[in-house]
Chain A
Amino acid sequence: MSEISLPESAKHTGHAGHPKKDVHGIKMGMWLFLMTELLLFSGMFLLYSAYRYFYTKEFHEAAMYTHTLFGTVNTMVLLTSSLTMALSITALERGKKWLSVTFLSSTIALGLGFLVIKYVEWSTEIHEGIYPGSPMLFKHPRGFELFFAMYYLMTGLHGLHVLVGCGLLTVMLIFIIKGKITQEDSVRLEAAGLYWHLIDIIWIFLFPLFYLVN
């Protein structure tokens, strides 16, 4: 999935008259890819909306069982990582290679931090007996089970994207250190940055839907 941001070298693309990399084309490809990612999640948002409509009261009550503290901390972690991502790109464009590397490393660290917090959160919940098919949820009205099914599915899929994003950014980090991504040729880092911001945006929607609507 990440291959889109690792485009072909200049000699294969474009016309004979334009030996340079088609920066515009690469960005366009990335935007189209981000659109498909949004649509991937849109299917689940659709399901969430439908079930929320069927079980309004139950969803409302079930949301009280999620840990708002974990969610809030994670939101801050991810927002900060988006900031460092943007700073990393700006630093590279101004020719400050090692500053860019520092910011990019922080982004990856924050991304991994997000996953660790998510892991602790899930563990706590499973320990409390909140997981699909659990006896504890069985005692509640039907909507509870669906709420948590959607919760695990959507945050799980999002977490998977964070993981993929971290891998992608690590590749970018190596490229910058090795000098394959430079001030003049930074389009791949920019494309990876777009992907990272998308992950952030999706979380911005997940957070209120699962933590704040109680």
Chain B
Amino acid sequence: MADIALPPQDISVVEGSYLENIGKHKGLAAWLLSTDHKRIGIMYTVMLFSFFSVGVLLGILLRLEMISPGGKLFGPEVYNALFTLHGVIMIFLFVIPGIPVTLGNFFLPLQIGAKDVAFPRLNLFSFYLYVIGSAVILTALFVNGLPDTGWTFYVPYSLRTTTGVTVAVFGVFIVGFSSILTGINFLTTIHRLRAPGMTWFKMPLFVWALYATSWVQIIATPVLAITLLLIIISRVFGIGIFNAAAGGDPVLYQHLFWIYSHPAVYIMILPPMGIVSEIIATFTRRTIFGYKAIAMSSLAIAFIGYLVWGHHMFVAGMSQQADMVFSFLTFIVAIPSGIKVFNWVASMYKGSIDPQPPFLFVMAFMVLFSIGGLSGLVLGSLATDVHLTATYFVVAHFHYIIFGGGVFIFFGALHYWLPKMFGRMYDKKIASWDLLVMFIGFNLLYFPMFIMGYEGMPRRYFTYLPQFETLQHISIAGSWILVAGLIVMFVNLIHGAIKGPRVGPNPWGGTTLEWKTASPPIHENFEEEPVVIHEPYYHEEAFTS
């Protein structure tokens, strides 16, 4: 299908790549003390996927508890701890830092033609804040027993439980600061360090997505930070700020929590959306359809995303007017996402599609994200939400969005950029077939949850009624298929990064600036400072042949 042959590539070994040590430090120290955005990006990637593996393991155990009604495997206490840790690790240590700190760190300066981010030392400092914060969260496992509040730390239970909530919350607080500082760094970088000629509307869409994400990070995270601080202070000093007995209002905690945590959903999903645009433009050999609409819809999502937090609280006793306004705004926020999806589909029309693994990941994303997004509208409607809230339906919905949408694109992006990061290629055939396995496993795992949730299966219960047994078993089988697929994928990627065949600077025929330097990139990214003339997705070869 690839009818446009790419020009032959120079695959000789790159001199002075960022993988070679320079400076006074040797070995591991040369990595741990490096302020090179590329090395920091790789270190984040290693950390994040370590936590992802732990999160997956906990998720598998959660599913396994459902092997028979009655919850004989772990019992309620351990089950509560498992879903809390699964949530805290996956949300705060994996998907929220997610793509920005890993691939964003690596590719943001490359895509705008800069040598590094605006504040490289601050970047390294953010990394260590992340490391310290995650260490503190993991410490919580060993202090006073496993936290069992769920990842939302809802009061009043989080004030009453004797488990290690204080420590875990403090860890999340520190990780939050890492996130804020990264956001400031990226915003300044995008404003100040773009290559000559790169006007705002010549920036790649991934950069636009990171720009919108960074705003969300610095505007929303401080509110979470203060909310978590209040929990800590309330627990340590016994101040009854959310304690109804002292006149406080627990629902205010929910407000403050979701004022951050709903925009946080867009921190998770905006960067993947940017990457989808990159991959589609590359593998259809076309410029992206509706470039400005996609760029602006990122900002629109970031903005409207602030105004919909109340839809997490329809049953928490808000006034009916508030419920209706929040429901309406929730429908509004679906529009910019819709704009993106339609533009992506339009970009493929009459394109010269080359179905390489990254593109196939995008196809999987389109299906999973659409299911997730549309089921979100079911939850955004007041009448249906009352029936479905706190059921498996919600669990299925956000896993379709965050895992099927966001994380699948994270994987796709690894497949897209790994040749650039390491100058080597993984086995494409294995990657493509493995995606099929993961896709099937994913749907087997989560689709039955829609049905169970609709039929009334509540979330966060360690046991269930016998009528759900078949669907629970399908879901468990799906989880094992998915994990098998994940293992194959990671082995394939790691093997490819170390031992795969060498590739040249531009193995996919990409048009953005990162493909104009060596693979792997050299220390300060470009031999000469690039000058931007064309819009980001201008395919020269396609137009001349």
Contacts and interface: CB of A to CB of B under 8 A. Distances in A.
A43 B223 contact: yes
Given A17-B529, A132-B239, A40 B222 contact: yes
Dominant secondary structure of chain A at its interface with chain B = helix
A95 interface: no
28 contacts: A3-B122, A3-B181, A4-B181, A4-B184, A7-B119, A7-B121, A8-B120, A8-B122, A13-B115, A15-B193, A22-B192, A25-B193, A28-B188, A29-B119, A29-B185, A36-B222, A39-B223, A41-B226, A43-B256, A44-B226, A47-B241, A51-B247, A133-B238, A146-B240, A146-B241, A149-B240, A153-B233, A153-B241
B429 interface: no
Contact of A132 (B221, B230, B238): B238
Interface string A137-170: 0000011011001101100010000000000000
Contacts of B223: 39-40, 42-43
A32 B226 contact: no
B125 interface: yes
A25 B188 contact: yes
Interface in B211-231: 218-219, 221-223, 225-227, 229-230
A3 B188 contact: no
A33 interface: yes
Interface in B142-161: none
A3 B252 CA distance: 33
A12 interface: yes
Interface in B121-141: 121-122, 125
Contacts of A69: none
B184 A32 contact: yes
A146 B248 contact: yes
Interface in A1-51: 1, 3-4, 6-8, 12-17, 22, 24-25, 28-29, 32-33, 35-37, 39-44, 46-47, 50-51
Nearest to B185: A29
Interface of B: 35, 114-116, 118-122, 125, 177, 180-181, 183-185, 187-188, 191-193, 195, 218-219, 221-223, 225-227, 229-230, 233, 237-241, 246-249, 252, 256, 259, 529
A12 B120 contact: yes
Interface core residue of A13, A22, A132 (most chain B CB under 10 Å): A13
A42 B260 CA distance: 12
Contacts of A50: 249, 252
A158 B510 CA distance: 50
Contact of A24 (B121, B181, B192, B246): B192
Interface in A37-70: 37, 39-44, 46-47, 50-51, 54-55
A180 to B, nearest CB: 15
Contacts of A133: 238-240
Contacts of B229: 157
Contacts of B246: 142, 145-146, 149
B118 A22 contact: yes
Given A25-B191, A29-B184, A44-B226, 17 more contacts: A3-B125, A13-B119, A13-B193, A15-B115, A15-B193, A17-B529, A25-B193, A28-B192, A29-B188, A36-B219, A36-B222, A39-B218, A43-B223, A47-B241, A47-B252, A47-B256, A54-B249
B177 to A, nearest CB: 7
A145 B188 contact: no
Contacts of A22: 118, 192
B227 A13 contact: no
Contact of A36 (B116, B184, B238, B240): B184
Contacts of A44: 226, 230
Contacts of B181: 3-4
Contacts of B118: 13, 22, 25, 29
B188 A55 contact: no
B256 A8 contact: no
Contacts of B177: 1
A36 B217 CA distance: 9
Contacts of A153: 230, 233, 239, 241
A39 B222 contact: yes
B247 A32 contact: no
B233 A39 contact: no
B249 A55 contact: no
Nearest to B252: A50
A28 B35 contact: no
A35 B238 CA distance: 30
A28 B218 contact: no
A35 B247 contact: no
Contacts of B226: 40-41, 43-44
Contacts of B191: 25, 28
Contact of B247 (A7, A8, A143, A157): A143
Contacts of A150: 241
A132 B120 contact: no
B147 to A, nearest CB: 22
A28 B218 CA distance: 13
Contacts of A143: 247
Contact of A7 (B122, B219, B529): B122
A17 B39 CA distance: 24
B134 to A, nearest CB: 19
Contacts of B233: 153
B184 A8 contact: no
Contacts of A3: 121-122, 125, 181
Contacts of A15: 114-115, 193, 195, 529
A44 B226 CA distance: 7
Contacts of B122: 3-4, 7-8, 29
Contact of B256 (A35, A46, A149): A46
Contact of A32 (B188, B241, B249): B188
5 interchain residue pairs of minimum CB distance: A142-B247, A43-B226, A39-B222, A40-B222, A25-B192
A157 B227 CA distance: 13
Contacts of A35: 218-219
B137 to A, nearest CB: 20
B184 A33 contact: yes
B239 A149 contact: yes
Contacts of A1: 177
B241 A12 contact: no
Nearest to A27: B188
A3 B35 CA distance: 14
Contacts of A40: 222-223, 225-226
A156 to B, nearest CB: 8
Contacts of A41: 226
B192 A132 contact: no
Contacts of A4: 119, 122, 181, 184
A189 to B, nearest CB: 18
A44 B230 CA distance: 9
